[in-house]
């Protein structure tokens, strides 16, 4: 049996697994054996899907742990990460495979966009991935979106000495960038976010993500440093919003940004509140409440 060139790890808890549209888009590469799909799930009874390998973890396992389990179960040298609310564009696989063949990088990633959705859906996409909406040009970058990133398994192992038990992707990418590992942007490898998370759940998720970020960032810092981070946290929503304008402008998504402004501000304030609490009280149980 031919070893695939790319493994796509889809992390999530939906019983049905990856979106049927995802499998349809990747059909030609799946049939040719170039790609394999690994569904890393915490669902107690996942649906069996032809052509999809299932990596089942305990119910309640957090997304970073699912990603890591999928990475270890994958058989290809390049392993892509996404989640069960994502659909790759028509040229996603071709663009990634070409980049993996031609670029000497440890990780490759591409832009994230939305096809449609309510204002609250757009708000969540913008809050989490808005900075990655502009296609731009291929080249080295300092960050990549956690739902559209592919790692070279061997080089990742060499850089870290062991594969991580929990892939906190943003933290991992920052560490790799600090080790001067090449992270590469491929604008043609577009991933579509079709998440329709209830808004109350989205608010809670942003709070816990913010607390996790704030707690980890302040780890080991003194009282003065933590207090300063707490006092400056009210500035986070304004700064985050300002940073979203250039990529949304370049991606011609300013109209969506204005449409989603009210729910987006709510999400940004929830993140800021979590970051403030994390700075002074640590991560608490936010890591276990990842969603």
Q: Are residues 33 and 170 in the same domain?
A: yes
Rounded to the nearest integer, the mean pLDDT of the chain is: 92
* pLDDT per position as a tens digit, 107-126: 999 999 998 899 999 999 99
Q: Would you say residue 66 lies in a domain?
A: yes
Closest CA to 77 of 2, 175, 130: 2
pLDDT tier at 50 (50, 70, 90 boundaries)?
confident
| Per-residue b or e along 235-268, where b marks 16 or more CB atoms closer than 10 Å to that residue's CB | ebbeebbeebeebbeebebeebbebbeebbbbbb
Q: Would you say residue 119 lies in a domain?
A: no
Q: Are residues 206 and 97 in the same domain?
A: no
Q: Are residues 39 and 150 in the same domain?
A: yes
User: What per-residue confidence (pLDDT) applies to 1?
Assistant: 59
* Total tally of structural domains belonging to the chain: 2
Q: Are residues 90 and 225 in the same domain?
A: no
Q: Would you say residue 172 lies in a domain?
A: yes
What is the percent of the chain where pLDDT is above 90? 74
User: What per-residue confidence (pLDDT) applies to 138?
Assistant: 96
| Structural domain harbouring 162 | 6-110+145-193
Q: Would you say residue 122 lies in a domain?
A: no
E-strand spans in the chain?
Answer: 6-12, 35-41, 52-56, 78-83, 86-88, 107-109, 112-113, 139-141, 149-152, 183-185, 191-193
Q: pTM for this structure?
A: 0.93
Q: Would you say residue 137 lies in a domain?
A: no
Q: Are residues 224 and 95 in the same domain?
A: no
Span 199-205, mean pLDDT? 96
Q: Are residues 234 and 102 in the same domain?
A: no
Q: Would you say residue 136 lies in a domain?
A: no
Q: Are residues 177 and 254 in the same domain?
A: no
Q: Would you say residue 85 lies in a domain?
A: yes
Q: Are residues 154 and 270 in the same domain?
A: no
- Determine the Cα angle at 69 with ends 67 and 71, to 5°: 70
Q: Are residues 185 and 253 in the same domain?
A: no
């Amino acid at each position: 049996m031919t070893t695939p060139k790319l493994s796509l790890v889809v992390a999530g808890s939906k019983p049905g697994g990856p979106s049927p549209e995802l499998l349809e888009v990747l059909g030609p590469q799946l049939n040719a054996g170039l790609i394999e799909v690994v569904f890393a799930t915490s669902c107690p009874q996942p649906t069996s899907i032809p052509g999809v390998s299932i990596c089942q973890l305990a119910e309640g396992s957090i997304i970073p742990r699912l990603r890591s389990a999928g990475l270890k179960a994958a058989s290809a040298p390049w392993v892509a990460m996404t989640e069960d609310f994502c659909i790759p564009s028509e040229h996603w696989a071709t663009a990634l495979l070409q980049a993996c063949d031609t670029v000497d990088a440890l990780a490759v990633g591409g832009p994230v966009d939305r096809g449609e959705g309510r204002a609250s859906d757009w708000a969540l996409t913008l809050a989490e991935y808005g900075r990655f909406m502009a296609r731009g040009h291929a080249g080295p970058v300092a960050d990549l979106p956690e739902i559209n990133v592919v790692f070279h398994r061997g080089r990742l192992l060499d850089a870290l000495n062991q594969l991580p038990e929990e892939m906190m992707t943003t933290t991992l990418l920052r560490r790799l960038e600090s080790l001067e590992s090449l992270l590469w942007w491929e604008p043609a490898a577009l991933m579509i976010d079709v998440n329709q998370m209830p808004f109350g759940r989205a608010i809670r998720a942003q709070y816990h993500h913010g607390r996790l970020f704030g707690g980890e960032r302040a780890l080991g810092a003194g009282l003065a440093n933590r207090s300063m981070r707490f006092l400056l946290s009210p500035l986070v929503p304004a700064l985050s919003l300002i940073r979203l304008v250039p990529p949304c402008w370049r991606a011609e998504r300013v109209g969506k940004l204005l449409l989603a402004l009210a729910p987006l501000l709510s999400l940004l304030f929830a993140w800021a509140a979590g970051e403030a609490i994390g700075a002074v009280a640590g991560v608490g149980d936010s890591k276990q409440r990842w969603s």
